[in-house]
Amino acid sequence: MRLFAATLLIFAALALPTAAHEPPALSRGQMVYVPVYSHISHGNLDSRGQPMSLLLSAMLSIRNTDPANSIIIRAIRYYDTDGKVLRDFITAPVTLGAMASTEHFVEHKDKAGGSGANFVVEWTADKPINSPIIETVNAFFFGTQSIAFTSSGRPIHPKP
């Protein structure tokens, strides 16, 4: 039985790297939802039943992963927890060259987004290309305390 289990584990380990390294399908554009954590709750509840809250900054990073083709960023919208648009980060389409990156920043003192804030990024390309990597880096650094983590974007369907 142990030999069977060990063999099964070896086959599973050999299969994972192959599946993890297959490139995703090419795309001509997407609408991408990216979570933002403008604040996180932590600690114990206070006398009013509320947890402590830590404000975080958020950097939206858009990385064109196609080595030969540009993408056009059509929209970058920042939404709050209730789904209300707080800010449009671009007012006209922006071309992002092959292998280029861009970023947009929300300060940690900007708590308008709430714990459910998000970006929606819309991009297009002239032909099917590698999809960009779109994510946020949510961070807090003060004295000896720090926290930083990423949130990956996920393609969504546009409104009908």
- Mean pLDDT over 89-93 rounds to 97
Residue 90, number of CB atoms within 10 A of its CB: 14
pLDDT digits 0-9 by tens, 14-71 = 555 555 568 889 999 999 999 999 888 888 988 999 898 889 999 999 999 999 999 9
CA–CA distance, 157 with 14 (Å, rounded to integer):
34
Tokens at residue 32, please? 């991408």
Residue 45 in any domain: the answer is yes
Taking 60 as the threshold, does the pLDDT of residue 110 lie above it?
yes
3-state DSSP assignment of residue 84: coil
Q: Among residues of the chain, what percentage have pLDDT more than 70?
A: 86
Residue 4: pLDDT band with limits 50, 70, 90: very low
pLDDT (0 to 100) of residue 99: 98
- Containing domain of residue 135, as a range? 25-156
Domain assignment of residue 124, yes or no: yes
Q: Which two tokens stand for residue 117?
A: 């804030």
pLDDT higher than threshold 80 for residue 92: yes
In a domain, 8, yes or no: no
Q: What is the CATH number of the domain that holds 58?
A: 2.60.290
* pLDDT score, position 12: 52
What mean pLDDT is reported for the chain?
A: 88
Q: What's the domain count of the chain? A: 1
- Whether 42 is in a domain gets the answer yes
Which residue matches tokens 């991408």? 32
Q: Residue 30's pLDDT is what?
A: 97
> For residues 29-47, b (16+ Cβ closer than 10 Å) or e, as one string?
bbbbebbbbbbbeeeeeee
Prediction pTM value: 0.83
Say which range, 7-16, 97-106, 108-117, has the weakest mean pLDDT. Answer: 7-16
